[in-house]
Amino acid sequence: MSKSSPYNHDLPALLSLAFSGIIQELHEQLDKLGFEDIRPAHGFLFQRINPDGATGMEIVEHMGITKQAVSQMIDYLEKHGYVARHPHPQDGRGKIVVLTERGWALIRAREAIYAVIEQRWAALIGAERLVQLKSDLDQMIRSTNEGELPPRLRPVW
């Protein structure tokens, strides 16, 4: 029995490594494309405001952090030109956070990078197995969440 590491890689570790590996590759590529000011956590926010924008509270629900933290993150992304705050058309208290052109450029870059990664995986384990993998993960996530995909992506934990 060959052991490639002095410690076990159980299922959680495999999931964590797979995820971290993708994120790391994503941000290496983004850095090269001039998006060095984007951190992994920002991805969760972008995922929510893409494509139609979202209010702060919608982002809060999605990310599972406080509204103050979300507000600060929006400050940062606005200052760096990725998003803009618009007044909410229906609710005078609210604002909608939308992507700027630079924000859209980031989204397109990310999608392209993800596509490359997925293609490499498909070539590696087979397109069919990749579909199966996604389906299995989907099922497993739902099973711990009353049959639904969680409405929020908890950032890491």
Partner DNA sequence: ATTAAATGGTCAATTGAATTGACTATAATA
Partner DNA sequence: TATTATAGTCAATTCAATTGACCATTTAAT
Smallest distance, a second copy to C-beta of residue 100, A: 19
Considering only residues 24-53, where is the footprint of a second copy by CB under 8 A?
24-27, 40, 47-48, 50
Q: Does 77 bind DNA (CB under 7 A)?
A: no
List for the chain the helix, strand, coil content (%; round to 5): 60, 10, 30
Strand arrangement, sheet containing 83-87: 54-55, 95-99, 83-87
CA distance 42 to 153: 12
Strand, coil or helix: 8: coil
Compose the 90-119 pattern: x for residues touching DNA by CB under 7 A, - for all others. -xxxxxx-----------------------
Task: Rule CB under 7 A: choose which of 13, 14, 17, 41 binds DNA.
Answer: 41
Distance CA 78, CA 99 (A): 9
User: Residue 108: which residues within 8 A CB-CB, separation 6 or more?
Assistant: none
If binding is defined by CB under 7 A, does position 24 make contact with DNA? no
Q: Binding residues for DNA, how many (CB under 7 A)?
A: 25
In the complex, minimum distance from the CB of residue 19 to a second copy, in angstroms, rounded to a whole number: 4
Q: Which residues bind DNA (CB under 7 A)?
A: 39, 41, 55-57, 65-69, 71-76, 85, 88, 91-96, 155
